[in-house]
Amino acid sequence: PQSKLPALGTTIFSQMSALAQQHNAINLSQGFPDFDGPDYLKARLAHHVSAGANQYAPMTGVQPLREAIAAKTAALYGHQPDSNSEITVTAGATEALFAAITALVRPGDEVICFDPSYDSYAPAVTLAGGIMRRVTLQPPGFHVDWSAFAALLSPRTRLVILNTPHNPSATVWQKSDFESLWQAIRGQEIYVLSDEVYEHICFAEAGHASVLAHAPLRERAIAVSSFGKTYHMTGWKVGYCIAPPALSAEVRKVHQYLTFAVNTPAQLALADMLNAEPEHYRELPQFYRARRDRFIQALEKSRLKVLPCEGTYFLLADYSAVSDLDDVAFCHWLTKEVGVAAIPLSVFCAGPFPYKLIRLCFAKQEATLDAAAERLCQL
Ligand code: PMP
Ligand code: GLN
Question: Is the CB of 239 within 6 Å of ligand 1?
Answer: yes
Q: Considering the domain boundaries, does residue 95 fall inside one?
A: yes
Q: For residues 89 and 206, state if they share a domain.
A: yes
Question: Is the CB of 230 within 6 Å of ligand 1?
Answer: no
Question: Is the CB of 228 within 6 Å of ligand 1?
Answer: yes
Q: For residues 189 and 271, state if they share a domain.
A: yes
Over the chain, what is the mean pLDDT? 98
Alpha carbon nearest to ligand 2 atom 8, residue: 13
Q: For residues 293 and 171, state if they share a domain.
A: no
**Digit-coded pLDDT (tens) for 308-335:** 999 999 999 999 999 999 999 999 999 9
Domain end, chosen from 280, 306, 333, is at 280
Q: Which residues pair with 47 in a beta bridge?
A: none
Q: For residues 131 and 220, state if they share a domain.
A: yes
How many other β-carbons are positioned within 10 Å of the β-carbon of residue 287?
Answer: 16
Q: For residues 264 and 298, state if they share a domain.
A: no
The whole-number pLDDT of residue 149 equals: 98
Q: For residues 56 and 180, state if they share a domain.
A: yes
Question: Is the CB of 13 within 6 Å of ligand 2?
Answer: yes
Q: For residues 73 and 174, state if they share a domain.
A: yes
The number of folded domains in the chain is: 2
Q: Give the CATH number, domain containing residue 353.
A: 3.90.1150.10
Alpha carbon nearest to ligand 1 atom 3, residue: 167
Alpha carbon nearest to ligand 2 atom 7, residue: 13
DSSP string, 70-121: HHHHHHHHS----TTTSEEEESHHHHHHHHHHHHH--TT-EEEEEES--TTH
Question: Is the CB of 69 within 6 Å of ligand 1?
Answer: no
The ligand placed nearest to the CA atom of residue 12 is 2
Q: Considering the domain boundaries, does residue 18 fall inside one?
A: yes
Domain end, chosen from 250, 280, 310, is at 280
Q: The domain containing residue 45 runs over which residues?
A: 39-280
Q: For residues 255 and 293, state if they share a domain.
A: no
Domain end, chosen from 241, 263, 280, is at 280
ipTM above 0.85, yes or no: yes
**Digit-coded pLDDT (tens) for 91-132:** 999 999 999 999 999 999 999 999 999 999 999 999 999 999
Q: For residues 173 and 243, state if they share a domain.
A: yes
The whole-number pLDDT of residue 282 equals: 97
